[in-house]
Amino acid sequence: MAMVNNKVVWITGASSGIGEGLAYELATKNCKLILSARNQEALKMVKSKCNTEVIILPFDLADYDNAKNHVEKAIAAFGRIDMLINNGGISQRSLLAETDFSVDKKLIEVDYLGVVALTKALLPHFLKNKSGHFVTITSLMGKFGSPYRSGYCGAKHALHGFFDVLRMEHQKDGVDVTLICPGFIQTNVAKNALTADGSKQNTDDNATQNGMPVAVFAKKFVKAVESKKFEAYIGGKEVMGVYLKRFFPKFLHYFVLRSTVR
């Protein structure tokens, strides 16, 4: 088992939710942290609660044309990076036929292209060091679909294809890839989700409110990463959807259609 202790870890989407929870958990492992998100003030608040060395590097994932600059600054912070946690992203809550194409574009730019650009910009550093771990937080929606999440599901499915190939091509170079697929976790993901016109939903849902606490998720996350799992599904009974999709896809289709999840 490869321990995360004392690693230099870069977390995107670290200003709240899962990213914030991971920062606190990894701080207890004496990791040196680089925290990124758009909200600098929120990042400062997270930093103040971490009893470890923390560097703040604010930027927008949609600014993927400047990914190389962000990577250079991140490497300069501690001289190296051992792990990149691709956590930043946005969700969606709108019917496909009602959703403006600009929303689909935004979801791809942030959830897929921003992640890919940052990963490709950091890859040469991992290859040079002959070690490094890309940990990408996708979603159970990267394994099966659900209404009101068409663009989000598309972006998350795309991440699985990209990172599976990255692993195949560079595992021999000492580069590890882990895909973490959360189910319902108690975060603001639903409140911040984009609606049909691109505005935020600004309301929560019962499934998210009653989901797994972030602190519990963070501990399960660390175990999966230390085990260097290819994929890990973390959540409640919704995780069964992965296996239903594989073995009973029609059953899953009708089950999801009858559910009240939005």
| Residue 77 scores a pLDDT above 80 | yes
As given in the structure block, the two tokens for residue 231 are 């994929």
Separation CA 91–CA 228 (nearest Å): 26
Q: What is the mean pLDDT of residues 146-170?
A: 98
The residue behind tokens 């560079």 is 170
Q: What is the mean pLDDT of the chain?
A: 97
* Strand ranges in the chain using DSSP code E only, listed in sequence order: 8-12, 32-36, 54-56, 83-86, 132-137, 175-182, 231-234
CB contact at 8 A, 193 and 200: yes
pLDDT, residue 232, reads 98
What confidence tens digit (pLDDT) does each residue in 5-16 have? 999 999 999 999
Hey, is 194 helix, strand or coil? strand
Query: Is 152 one of the catalytic residues?
Result: yes
Tell me: the pLDDT tens digits for 237-255? 999 999 999 999 999 999 9
The amino acid occupying position 202 is: N
Question: In this model, does residue 128 exceed pLDDT 90?
Answer: yes
Amino acid identity, position 254: Y
Mean pLDDT lowest among 15-19, 95-99, 169-173, 206-210: 206-210
b/e burial code for range 227-255 (CB count within 10 A of at least 16 → b): eebebbbbbeebbebbebbeeeeeebeee
Question: One-letter amino acid identity for 28?
Answer: T
Interval 159-167 mean pLDDT: 98
- Neighbour tally for 114: CB within 10 Å: 23
Q: What is the pLDDT averaged over residues 104-125?
A: 98
Reported as a pLDDT band with limits 50, 70 and 90, residue 2 is: confident
CA 47 to each of CA 17, 22, 152: distance values in angstroms, whole numbers, following the listed order: 14, 12, 29
Quote the pLDDT of residue 171. 98
Beta-bridged to residue 56, according to DSSP, are: 35
Give the residue extent of every domain in the chain. 8-258
Give the mean model confidence (pLDDT) for residues 162-179. Answer: 98
Average pLDDT over residues 85-106: 98
- Residue 262 pLDDT exceeds 80: no
Structure tokens that stand for 9 in this block: 């870890």
pLDDT at residue number 204: 87
Question: Residues 24, 152, 233, 254: which is the catalytic one?
Answer: 152
CATH number (3.40.30.10, 3.10.310.10, 3.30.565.10, 3.40.50.720) of 8-258 reads 3.40.50.720
User: Which residue's entry shows tokens 């989700």?
Assistant: 193
Distances (CA, A) of 107 to 89, 90, 110, 141, 172: 8, 7, 5, 13, 32
Quick check: 144 pLDDT over 80?
yes
Which residues, 6+ apart, have CB-to-CB distance to 121 below 8 Å? 67, 68, 70, 71
Indicate the pLDDT class of residue 213, thresholds 50, 70 and 90: very high
Distance set, CA 136 to CA 196, 205, 216 (Å): 26, 25, 18
Residue 205 has pLDDT above 90, yes or no: no
pTM, full prediction: 0.96
